[in-house]
Amino acid sequence: MATSELGHYVRFDEATVASPSGTEAPFSTGHARRAIGNLNHLADQYAQRRIAWVGRTLTVDEDVIVDGVFGFLWASGSFDLHVDGTGESYALRGRLRLSSDDAVASATFRVVIAHENASLPELFEAGDHTDEITVVRSGFDWDATSLLYLDAFRIAAAQREVAAIDAVGGDPLSAVWVRARMWIFAKRQSSLAEARLSGVQLDEYIAP
């Protein structure tokens, strides 16, 4: 279980939680503890699906493709991430649909989550925000990444101010959200292979 001690939401009788209550039901320590646990569980399960697509086949887009050298394959647009109490992002469960287009030669894919303005050197730093997957297959199949996340330093680099409004027709205010992107680079073992991508899933998750 994650952050709630029971690992699930506790249903209260609807009359008990009627808002506002005409006659308040007795409110005990047990109610209080369960209510707080519910908040923890709802926050865990408020983990969002950030990326979900399948179908279009993409290959490396470089003027010259060199064996064993990473080239650009795909990048998402910017998206928000939930930030945990530690200052780190929620963990991210990734899944890529990959092919090396050959039964013998391999293709290696590097997936990176970073702030939207990350430079190429930053995108090739080691860390918990990146993973590499090597496949040898003619067709496509889904491969899971390790659980990725942005540490507090990388979250701070990704936070931006956004013009939010708190009421319909209200004046813009400054809110803070995260602008992260996913990048996928790929390299082929030899000219027999071609690195191919045809789907990505990225889901937030609070691990136990």
Partner 1 sequence: MATGSVPEQRLRCVQSRVGISNSVSSGHWMDPARLQCWLAGRGAAVVPVFVPPQLDNQGSSNAFYFRFKPRYQTTRYALTIALSSFPIGTRLGVVTFPVGGDSHVVPVTRRRGSLGRGPTSVTMFYDVASQSTTEREISFSVAETADVSPLQIESAMIEEVPRTILTVDANDLGADRLAFWLRQAIAEPNISDQIFDYQNNLRDASRRLGLFQHSWSDEENINTTSGSFVDMFGAPIGILHRCLYSGETTRLASWRIRAKVSNGTTAGEVRVTNSAGSTTISIPTSATSWTWLPSTAGAPSTFAIDAEDNTTANGLRGGTDDDHTFEYRRTAGAGSVQVSSISVFDAGA
- Residues 57-96 contacting partner 1, CB under 8 A: 58, 61-62, 71-72, 74-80, 82-85, 87, 93, 95
Residues 20-39 that bind partner 1 (CB under 8 A): 20-21, 24, 27, 29, 31-33, 35-39
Beta bridge partners of 186: 71, 109
- Report which DSSP code applies to 165: -
31 vs 192, beta carbon nearer partner 1? 31
132 vs 192, beta carbon nearer partner 1? 132
CB 43, min distance to partner 1, A: 5
> DSSP string spanning 75-119?
E---B---B-TTSSBPEEEEEEEEE-SSSSS-EEEEEEEEETT--
Asked if 131 is part of the footprint of partner 1 (rule: CB under 8 A), the reply reads no
CA atoms within 13 A on the CB side of 80: 10
Contact 65, 190 (CB under 8 A): no
Residues 177-206 that bind partner 1 (CB under 8 A): 177, 181-183, 198-203, 205-206
CB 83, min distance to partner 1, A: 4
Contact 140, 196 (CB under 8 A): yes
Residues 104-123 that bind partner 1 (CB under 8 A): 116, 118-120, 123
Asked if 4 is part of the footprint of partner 1 (rule: CB under 8 A), the reply reads yes
Residues 141-180 that bind partner 1 (CB under 8 A): 142, 144, 147, 159, 162-170, 173-177
* Cα distances (angstroms) measured from residue 27 to each of 16, 41, 131: 9, 20, 48
Asked if 137 is part of the footprint of partner 1 (rule: CB under 8 A), the reply reads no
Alpha carbons 91 and 202: distance in angstroms, whole number:
10
CB 188, min distance to partner 1, A: 16
